[in-house]
Amino acid sequence: MKTPVRIAVVDSGVHAQHPHVNGVAGGVSITPDGREGSDYTDRLGHGTAVTAAIREKAPDAAIYAVKVFHDSLATRIESLVHALDWSEKNGMHLINLSLGTDNPQHEAVLRAAVDRLVGQGIKLIAAYEDAGVRWLPGSIAGVVPVVLDWDCPRDAYRTSALPDGRMLYHASGFPRPIPGVAPERNLKGISFAVANVTGLIARGTDSLTVAVR
């Protein structure tokens, strides 16, 4: 029997009963003071929308909600590193990180966390840059880097080469459509470009890769 791809969605948690999510395999809540809890229910909406975009493309994946956002879409760097380490210890294959920091003081600790993940063969998918801002950990070598491409179809990604030879993924910033809600009124942006790439990688859709000219 084929083992399902295990994906950690590090975000605001997940509303598992949402019809676009159709359940999760488990998860954890990481509190600002470093404790782990069982309440990974999403009360902000961002993590559920990100998960829905992934689930659309990888319906058979085992998705785990790793909640680091509680009252707002902000968290401590210690909580983020804790989430990455939890994902490693719990056997994730992919980690979706629809978040990031532009604070260079966090680079060293994030680089160490990325190195641990790479050493275990885990793919971390995150934003490389957006609107001229370089994001961490998405710009660190070893991470699967993603940028926005509003012209890219939601069911595909494009690729180009970074100066260091790494592959850069270009993807749509639109989430899974909601019936009756116009795309311009829905959530959108780099978070969903990352989620779209995660879902496509989980599904193994290399045939949909189109090189950027």
Q: What does the pLDDT average to over 49-65?
A: 96
| Reported pTM | 0.92
User: What residues contact residue 165 under an 8 Å CB cut-off, 6+ apart?
Assistant: none
User: What residues contact residue 66 under an 8 Å CB cut-off, 6+ apart?
Assistant: 8, 9, 10, 11, 27, 28, 30, 40, 83, 86, 87
pLDDT in tens, 158-211: 999 999 889 999 999 998 877 666 666 667 899 999 999 999 999 984 434 444
Which H/E stretch holds residue 160?
A: strand 158-161
CB neighbours (10 Å) of residue 107?
14
pLDDT in tens, 66-107: 999 999 999 999 999 999 999 999 999 999 999 999 999 999
Query: Residue 30 above 60 pLDDT?
Result: yes
Q: Give the C-alpha separation, 181 to 186, whole Å.
A: 7
- What is the average pLDDT value for the chain, to the nearest integer? 91
Return the percentage of the chain with pLDDT > 70, whole number: 92
Q: Inter-axis angle of helices 46-57 and 190-203, to 10 degrees?
A: 30
Query: Residue 128 above 90 pLDDT?
Result: yes
Residue 151, both tokens:
């012209």
Q: Looking at domain 6-211, does it have CATH number 3.50.50.60?
A: no
Residue 195, both tokens:
């989620």
Q: What does the pLDDT average to over 124-149?
A: 96
CA distances in angstroms from 83 to 70, 153, 158, 177, listed in the order given: 14, 31, 29, 28
